[in-house]
């Protein structure tokens, strides 16, 4: 066969089905790449090689990705055989009595999960630099830059060719930010499209959802099809698909109305590299027959960001309190990082009625964005306001949680687009169409109306055909 890293997940699965390679041989290839690349990247943790080989020996599920090596994020995706640190010293070595619904569905695809990928503590950063992992996770395109967050380990592992696809999750851009930073495809489906149970009823008032980092649109479509749908007792469900994600990738989009926003959603200028990239994408979409017009959404994005910050602070505090209760002890020095400590302090100032007011603000924002999407089918922006940040810029050392999120050099300044669609619940994707003059990836962000996942992934697939990216590889990709 050709090199292991020449294939996406669908391609590797086809090799296994046709008898050209075994699941064990693919696992060997993945483990060799961990050995070669992970010392520089710091992306793969909590390896469970014995579990992976045992699963192969007893027979993998006969799913569409049978035999393909896979990694799950070290945050959520609870699994009996995969202990987790959840990005935190406090939560290091957490074990689970049963598998989560999302892991059960991932396992049913036939993938060979052999470890976890790094995540910032609490999942609240746009970079992955947790103390529990001993250092930052680095970008395969340039080791001096971040791979993004909070699914930064998954982004780095897929971009480096350790695995062709990996699990992630997205509460404020945490799939799309690393996708943009690492030159990958990342898709956040409509709220509740994927299951949260049984360990959570919902994440961050419904703003968080699982997802995947992949090198091809078809891999994301396949994984979404296999994992979509409510789990038992889900508090709410997404609108049903008309057919499937995979069918949508094979169905070209008709001409769409596309709104182009080349500033932040509040009208603030973005970096020249990202502005040029989104105009390049707009020209490509125009050439493909779509109708692109400038726009600036009138929704209250600043109010949404304020409400998001409060809700996530309260969620962070709840997670820490539950961990301390389970361990029957008080918080000790070194248990959590500065930003989490600051989030706890901030959450202590938030009343119950203020929290509910913020949930109401998030819902109001969804209605405002829905009104905006009456004028266009797709909103086009960059994924980030600038190319991938240097490591250390978003370290979790500060205890000023609010400034870390909303200050002039904070996360929302760097990533002003993604969280809007966690708040509104709309599907959104980062597509790897552009690179900076210095060779850093610049993702293009596309958002569709609520429930229009198939329309969005169809457009992404058209873009992949128009400007293929799978052969574009970072320097470490050998």
pLDDT tens digits, 302-326: 999 999 999 999 999 999 999 999 9
Answer whether residue 461 is part of any domain.
yes
CATH of the domain at 33: 3.90.1300.10
Angle at 15 between CA 13 and CA 19, to 5 degrees: 115
Answer whether residue 478 is part of any domain.
no
Q: Which one of the listed residues 151, 154, 169, 174 is annotated catalytic? A: 174
Answer whether residue 295 is part of any domain.
yes
Global confidence as pTM: 0.98
Q: Which one of the listed residues 5, 130, 150, 461 is annotated catalytic? A: 150
Residue 161 · residue 214 · CB < 8 Å: no
The pLDDT-based confidence of 1 (bands split at 50, 70, 90) is: very low
Active-site residue flag, 150: yes
Answer whether residue 471 is part of any domain.
no
pLDDT digit string, tens, across residues 373-417: 999 999 999 999 999 999 999 999 999 999 999 999 999 999 999
Answer whether residue 476 is part of any domain.
no
pLDDT digit string, tens, across residues 77-91: 999 999 999 999 999
Q: How many domains, in total, are found in the chain?
A: 1
Q: Which one of the listed residues 73, 100, 119, 458 is annotated catalytic? A: 73
Neighbours of 161 (CB within 10 A): 23
Answer whether residue 23 is part of any domain.
yes
What is the chain's Cα-based Rg?
20
Active-site residue flag, 73: yes
Active-site residue flag, 188: no
Q: What is the structure's pLDDT at 202?
A: 94
Q: Distance between CA 31 and CA 10 in Å, rounded?
A: 19
Which residues are CB-neighbours of 261 under 8 A, at least 6 positions away?
Answer: 278, 294, 295, 296, 297, 379, 380, 381
pLDDT digit string, tens, across residues 420-440: 999 999 999 999 999 999 999
Average pLDDT over residues 286-291: 98
Answer whether residue 475 is part of any domain.
no
Answer whether residue 443 is part of any domain.
yes
Q: What is the domain extent for residue 264? A: 4-466
């Amino acid at each position: 066969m050709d090199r292991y890293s020449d294939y996406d997940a669908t391609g590797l699965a086809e090799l296994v089905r046709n008898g050209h390679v075994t699941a064990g041989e693919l696992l060997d290839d993945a483990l060799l790449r961990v050995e070669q690349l992970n010392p520089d990247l710091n992306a793969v943790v909590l390896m469970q090689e014995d579990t992976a080989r045992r699963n192969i020996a007893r027979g993998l599920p006969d799913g569409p990705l049978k035999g393909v090596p896979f990694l799950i994020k070290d945050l959520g995706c609870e699994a009996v055989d995969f202990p987790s640190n959840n990005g935190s010293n406090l939560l290091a070595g957490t074990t689970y009595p049963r598998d989560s619904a999302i892991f059960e569905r991932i396992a049913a695809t036939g993938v060979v999960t052999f470890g976890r990928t790094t995540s910032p503590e609490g999942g609240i950063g746009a970079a992955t630099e947790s103390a529990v992992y001993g250092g930052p996770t680095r970008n395969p395109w340039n080791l001096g830059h971040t791979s993004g967050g909070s699914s930064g380990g998954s982004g780095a592992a897929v971009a480096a060719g350790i695995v062709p696809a990996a699990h992630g999750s997205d509460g404020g851009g945490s799939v799309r930010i690393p996708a943009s930073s690492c030159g990958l495809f990342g898709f956040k489906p409509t709220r509740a499209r994927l299951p949260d149970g049984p360990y959570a009823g919902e994440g961050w008032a419904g703003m968080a959802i699982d997802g995947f980092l992949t090198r091809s649109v078809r891999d994301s479509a396949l994984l979404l099809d296999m994992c979509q749908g409510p789990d038992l007792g889900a508090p709410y469900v997404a609108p049903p698909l008309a057919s499937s994600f995979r069918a949508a990738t094979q169905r070209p989009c008709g001409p769409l109305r596309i709104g182009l926003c080349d500033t932040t959603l509040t009208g603030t200028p973005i970096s020249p590299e990202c502005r040029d990239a989104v105009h390049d994408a707009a020209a490509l979409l125009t050439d493909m027959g779509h109708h692109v017009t400038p726009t600036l959404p009138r929704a209250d994005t600043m109010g949404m960001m304020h409400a998001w910050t409060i809700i996530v602070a309260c969620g962070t505090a709840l997670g820490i309190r539950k961990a301390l209760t389970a361990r029957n002890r008080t918080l000790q020095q070194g248990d959590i990082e500065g930003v989490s400590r600051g989030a706890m302090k901030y959450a202590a100032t938030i009343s119950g009625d203020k929290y509910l007011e913020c949930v109401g603000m998030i819902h109001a924002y969804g209605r405002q964005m829905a009104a905006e999407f009456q004028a266009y089918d797709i909103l086009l922006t960059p994924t980030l306001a600038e190319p991938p940040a240097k490591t250390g810029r978003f370290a979790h050392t500060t205890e000023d949680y609010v400034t870390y999120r909303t200050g002039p050099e904070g996360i929302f300044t760097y990533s002003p687009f993604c969280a809007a669609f966690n708040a509104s619940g709309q599907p959104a994707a980062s597509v790897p169409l552009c690179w900076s003059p210095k060779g850093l990836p610049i993702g293009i962000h596309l958002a569709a109306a609520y429930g229009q996942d198939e329309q969005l992934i169809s457009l992404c697939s058209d873009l992949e055909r128009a400007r293929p990216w799978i052969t574009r590889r970072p320097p470490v990709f050998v």
